[in-house]
Amino acid sequence: MKKIETSKKLLWISGSVYTLTIIIGIIFVYKEIDTSFFMYAIPSAGSVYGATVAFYLNKAKMENLFKGREAFLRYKMELDKDNSSEVKDEVKEIDDELKQAIGNEVQSVLDEKFDINQ
Q: Which residues, including other chains, have CB under 8 Å from residue 15's CB and lie 6 or more apart?
A: 49, 52
- Look at 85 and 49; give whichever has higher pLDDT: 49
pTM recorded for the entire structure: 0.62
Please state the domain extents for the chain.
6-112
The CA R_g of the chain, rounded to the nearest whole Å, is 23
Q: Which residues, including other chains, have CB under 8 Å from residue 25's CB and lie 6 or more apart?
A: 35, 38, 41, 42
Model confidence pLDDT, tens digit, residues 50-98:
999 988 888 888 888 778 777 777 777 776 666 566 666 766 777 777 7
